Amino acid sequence: MRSDRIKKGIERAPHRSLLRALGFDDEDLRAPLIGIANSFNEIVPGHIHLRTLVEAVKAGVRQAGGVPVEFGVIGVCDGIAMNHEGMRYSLVSREIIADSIEIMAQAHAFDGLVLVTSCDKITPGMLMAAFRLNLPAILIAGGPMLTGDFQGKKVNLISAFEAIGRIKKGEMTEEELIELEKCACPTCGSCAGMFTANSMNCLTEALGLALPGNGTIPAVYSERIRLAKETGRAIVRLVKKGLTPKKLISDASFRNAIAVDMALGCSTNTVLHLMAIAKEAEIPLDLKTFDEISKKTSVLAKLIPSGPHSVPELHQAGGIPAVMKELAKKGLIDTSCLTVSGKTIGEIIEKAENRNPEVLRPIENPYAYEGGIAVLYGNLSPEGAVVKTSAVLPEMMRHTGPARVYNSEEEAYEAILSGKIRPGDVVVIRYEGPKGGPGMREMLSPTSALIGMGLGASVALITDGRFSGGTQGACIGHVSPEAAEGGPIALVEEGDIIEIDIPGRLLELKVSDEELEKRKKKWSPPKKKLKGVLKKYYVLVKSASTGAVLE
């Protein structure tokens, strides 16, 4: 066992002495040592209940003959960090999470890892560490939140964001807003729609590094505790068999996950995260792969924010196994891929059943015949840009309009709420990319304001930043190269005409090459005073088109 390096031999008497100080006995010293990375904290609703899950994981580990040892991992709540300086630290935390797990696992010679996670950057950060370390590892998420009820309608966190625009438009009172905020997030768990947290936890299940049910069992269900207990037993089996992530997961596993991504219309952040995870797995993955799979994968569900259904409803409909079974009917899933359950995808989906064709459409009757994410290229995005097509209204799939240019999220947000944006405009928010932010902030507040102000069917938004999984509308992010590195988005001027053709995969600035060259000669990057972790991140981070990885 790997942990023998801290447990066996006369030279390890001091190490054993320290372990005995923890309460280890001789039997513990002979057993597999399982590290449990717990992202519990008291500021994130998706994490507040993780102690309960961890205790269930520990019980499972002990039942299977292992010794569980828990350690902590940071986690940012993107909702609370949104629309202020705090959001600069969210994507940054992904790398720190991966680094911290690597440090703990290497320093203490764990035989295997259970990754207990929930929200946006925590799941991908943990998966990056799993592949980097290549120890037997399995992930379990805290599960999705239930939806709330407001005046007889289902609501969620995004309802509260969009309500701000409704107030500005005079369609809602402040008293109603307070009533809404009290019921929008009624339970613990990751917010109820197919936002980034739930997207990544569903894709981890499809990838094969979590047990069936990981992505969709609600946080408050006892079924989630039972899943945690089985996860504890499963990691000991993986350790005894020597099955590591790189032995289990292949290029086909990633393609399976991307197919599920496209069928469910997941968050555009999945593109960033899957590329970063694949890099740690040493599996080539680029933007073109996402678009290739999208073009042949049908949209089978309209989940919040793209439609009315929540992730708990997807669970009741059959969850990720049912989604994969539908996709497998047309050969879009490699059923031979292995998983941490000890079964292949084919064995898992064999007994799966689509129990609600209104929530999960049969593949013969999809919502759309192309997937939920598209990659756009053109002179405005030579290295690509990403849009969640499943959340775009049909009338906005093609749009041409004048640019309204803002050099920060705050500037654009103020302009939207003060009524300065008109139907037909294309809002451009730049210097919010990985380096430009730094930190590549999510633009949920501006996009929600557009919806709340009634402009979702007439205004597009383009940014070198990124979007929350809760964003809806013709919102195009990850524009690369970013403005801070002199990308064409830095050269856009007020009133320039921008053409968006999502079916044609085109993002074009209607300005001549000669004019752009003149502007480029006059351009210089804005200077920012940075310190601490943001300064380190600025120096090391690469383009969004690479997954915003550090090198």
Q: Enumerate the known binding-site residues for Mg(2+).
A: 78, 120-121, 442
Q: With 0-12 CB in 10 A as exposed, 13-18 as middle and 19+ as buried, what is 318?
A: buried
Spell 294-305 as b/e; 16+ CB within 10 A means b: beebbbbbbbbb
Spell 348-369 as b/e; 16+ CB within 10 A means b: bbeebebeeeebbbebeebbbe
Show the DSSP H helices in 297-408 as ranges. Answer: 311-317, 319-328, 345-349
CA gap 377, 291 in Å, rounded: 11
Cβ contacts of 366 within 8 Å, gap of 6 or more: 298, 299, 300
Residue with tokens 């856009």: 492
How far CA 457 is from CA of 391, 402, 487, in Å, comes to: 11, 16, 28
Residue with tokens 């008291």: 42
Residue positions counted in the chain: 551
Mean pLDDT for the chain overall: 97
Q: Answer positive or negative: Cα dihedral of 71, 73, 79, 81.
A: positive
Degrees to nearest 5, angle at CA 9 with 7 and 13: 65
Could you read off the pLDDT of 34-57 as tens digits, one per residue? 999 999 999 999 999 999 999 999
Q: Give the three-class secondary structure for 137.
A: strand
Q: Which domains, from first to last, does the chain contain?
A: 31-145+189-350 (3.40.50.2300), 376-546 (3.50.30.80)
Spell 80-93 as b/e; 16+ CB within 10 A means b: ebbbeeebbbbbbb
Which parts of the chain sit beneath pLDDT 70? none
CA gap 292, 294 in Å, rounded: 5
Asked if 468 is an active-site residue, the reply is: yes
The DSSP call for residue 387 is E
Q: Answer positive or negative: Cα dihedral of 21, 24, 25, 30.
A: negative
Picking from 380, 551, 373, 407, the residue whose alpha carbon sits closest to that of residue 481 is 380
CA dihedral 196, 202, 204, 210 (to 10 degrees): 140
Compute the 3-state secondary structure of the chain and give helix, strand, coil in percent, each to the nearest 5.
Answer: 45, 15, 40
For 418, what's the count of Cα atoms within 13 Å in the CB-facing half-sphere?
Answer: 7
CA gap 119, 143 in Å, rounded: 9
Question: What does the pLDDT read at residue 454?
Answer: 95
Question: What does the pLDDT read at residue 470?
Answer: 87
Catalytic residue (choose from 190, 468, 543, 545): 468
Can you give the pTM of this predicted structure?
A: 0.96
Q: Enumerate the known binding-site residues.
A: 78, 120-121, 442
